[in-house]
């Protein structure tokens, strides 16, 4: 590939780690980004500007006003239009670089669809806020040999670790099982700073470019830990964890999350006072049909991506007192119930208004 001083990627190709050959590799690459919240927005923006050929964005959520503090791809118009994050991200990214193919998928990544969504990609990237999907990505990575990058951020802290199957430690080498509820800080308890997200995601994006440009062999077996409030950053060697040979996943082939053995039907959404409900069967009605059925239950808004039901005051669930309750339903029947962090209450509301 040749480039003129005025071409889009000229400055990037001057960098010795990329060059013309690396830029062509980026163009020929495809990535799966699971989650397009704060981390995912930064990563998607960076890889789109860098010229990665195809970016498949999977996200289950929609844009809300509270996202705008740190989710750089979205604006107030996206909030007003009740857009799913994957759709809003695609609109923005296509305006940034029309040469990159953006594939927005409004879905909840799980063991039933992630193998298909990841088929043929060069790299899988973590833009999520929950460990269940991260362990699923880890299982799929080990099963297929596709590298992935674990990234997390809470408060002013971030963590980043590349997983190169067969060479580096995997997530279960580091954490054999998910942290028990309440044992670690979340964005509900510690909040999250936009700059912390940006730094952690920038490291993830840089590692992604390094892998995609053909330099995966230069990546070490390390976990990077940062704190933007204190300015501290350190790297923890994980070579010994890999060498121990005791990991149930990468040493002994256990795939609890990919097999569906470890799976939740409801998920408390970090920092949202909301619960996601995933039904075992798909929705039997179209969204317009459901909107007609729910029109007397509250204020209903509808677009081609989702239906939103804002409950009337007298209809509010007794357990929620005066809290505003809002149900957002997607075409496959998945719903996000805002106004409670109690899965039992959320399931009750789902059954009451949607059925099942």
Decide if 257 is inside a domain: no
Structural domain of residue 281, as residue ranges? 266-353
% residues pLDDT > 90 (the chain): 67
- 278 and 229 in a single domain? The answer is no
pLDDT band at 180 (very low <50, low <70, confident <90, very high): low
E strands, 228-325, are 232-237, 266-269, 274-277, 298-302, 307-311
- 334 and 224 in a single domain? The answer is no
pLDDT band at 35 (very low <50, low <70, confident <90, very high): very high
Decide if 95 is inside a domain: yes
Decide if 110 is inside a domain: yes
Domains contained in the chain, number: 2
pLDDT band at 185 (very low <50, low <70, confident <90, very high): low
CA-based nearest residue to 277, from 353, 339, 352, 329:
329
Decide if 209 is inside a domain: yes
Q: What is the pLDDT of residue 2?
A: 58
- 95 and 117 Cβ atoms separated by less than 8 Å: no
Strands 101-106 and 123-126: unpaired
- 34 and 169 in a single domain? The answer is yes
- 40 and 164 in a single domain? The answer is yes
More confident position, 185 or 284: 284
pLDDT band at 269 (very low <50, low <70, confident <90, very high): confident
Q: What is the pLDDT of residue 188?
A: 54
Q: What is the pLDDT of residue 191?
A: 82
Decide if 250 is inside a domain: no
36 is catalytic: no
Residue 175 belongs to a domain with what CATH number? 3.40.50.720
- 211 and 147 Cβ atoms separated by less than 8 Å: yes
Q: What is the pLDDT of residue 333?
A: 86
- 129 and 278 in a single domain? The answer is no
Q: Using one digit for the tens of pLDDT, what is the confidence trace for 285-342?
A: 889 988 988 888 889 999 999 999 998 654 444 444 435 799 999 998 889 999 888 8
Give this prediction's pTM. 0.82
- 348 and 314 in a single domain? The answer is yes
Q: What is the pLDDT of residue 321?
A: 45
Decide if 233 is inside a domain: yes
- 22 and 158 in a single domain? The answer is yes
d(CA 20, CA 72): 29
- 173 and 225 in a single domain? The answer is yes
pLDDT band at 137 (very low <50, low <70, confident <90, very high): very high
d(CA 238, CA 221): 6
Q: Which of 170, 173, 187, 250 is catalytic?
A: 187
Decide if 1 is inside a domain: no
Q: What is the pLDDT of residue 266?
A: 64
- 287 and 196 in a single domain? The answer is no
Considering 209, 243, 277, which residue would you say is the last residue of a domain? 243
Q: What is the pLDDT of residue 170?
A: 97
Q: Using one digit for the tens of pLDDT, what is the confidence trace for 83-112?
A: 999 999 999 999 999 999 999 999 889 899
Residue 289 belongs to a domain with what CATH number? 3.30.310
Q: What is the pLDDT of residue 285?
A: 83
- 275 and 332 in a single domain? The answer is yes
Considering 228, 243, 258, which residue would you say is the last residue of a domain? 243
Residue 184 predicted with pLDDT over 70: no
- 284 and 168 in a single domain? The answer is no
Q: Evaluate the CA torsion angle 88, 49, 69, 268 in order and state its sign.
A: positive
pLDDT band at 264 (very low <50, low <70, confident <90, very high): low
Q: Using one digit for the tens of pLDDT, what is the confidence trace for 11-20?
A: 999 999 999 9
Decide if 296 is inside a domain: yes
CA-based nearest residue to 17, from 237, 208, 224:
208
Average pLDDT over the chain reads 89
Considering 180, 210, 243, which residue would you say is the last residue of a domain? 243
Q: What is the pLDDT of residue 344?
A: 76
- 182 and 218 in a single domain? The answer is yes
């Amino acid at each position: 590939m040749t480039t003129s001083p005025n071409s889009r990627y000229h400055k990037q190709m001057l960098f010795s780690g990329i060059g013309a050959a690396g830029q062509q590799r980026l163009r020929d690459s495809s990535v799966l980004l699971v989650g397009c919240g704060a981390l995912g927005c930064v990563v998607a923006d960076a890889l789109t500007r860098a010229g990665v050929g195809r970016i498949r964005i999977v996200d289950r959520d929609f844009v809300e006003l509270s996202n705008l503090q740190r989710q750089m791809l979205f604006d107030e118009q996206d909030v007003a239009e009740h857009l799913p994050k994957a759709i809003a991200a695609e609109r923005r990214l296509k305006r940034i670089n029309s040469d990159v193919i953006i594939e927005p998928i409004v879905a909840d990544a799980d063991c039933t669809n992630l193998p298909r969504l990841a088929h043929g990609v060069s790299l899988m990237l973590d833009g999520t806020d929950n460990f269940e999907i991260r362990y699923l990505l880890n299982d799929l990575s080990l099963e297929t040999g596709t590298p992935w990058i674990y990234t997390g951020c809470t408060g002013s802290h971030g963590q980043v670790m590349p997983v190169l199957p067969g060479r580096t430690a995997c997530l279960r080498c580091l954490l054999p099982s998910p942290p028990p509820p309440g044992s670690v800080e979340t964005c509900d308890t510690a909040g999250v700073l936009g700059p912390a997200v940006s730094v952690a995601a920038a490291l993830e994006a840089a590692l992604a470019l390094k892998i995609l440009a053909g330099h995966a062999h230069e990546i070490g077996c390390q976990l990077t830990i940062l704190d933007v409030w204190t300015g501290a950053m350190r790297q923890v060697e994980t070579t010994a964890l890999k060498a121990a040979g005791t990991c149930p996943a990468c040493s002994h082939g256990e795939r609890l999350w990919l097999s569906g053995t470890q799976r939740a039907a409801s998920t408390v959404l970090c920092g949202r006072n909301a619960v996601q409900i995933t039904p075992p069967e798909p929705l039997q009605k179209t969204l317009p049909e459901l909107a007609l059925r729910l029109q007397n239950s509250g204020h209903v808004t509808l677009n081609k991506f989702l239906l939103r039901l804002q409950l009337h005051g007298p209809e509010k669930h007794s357990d929620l007192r005066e809290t505003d309750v809002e149900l957002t339903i997607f075409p496959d029947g998945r719903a996000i119930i805002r106004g409670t962090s109690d899965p039992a209450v959320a399931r009750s509301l789902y059954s009451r208004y949607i059925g099942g």
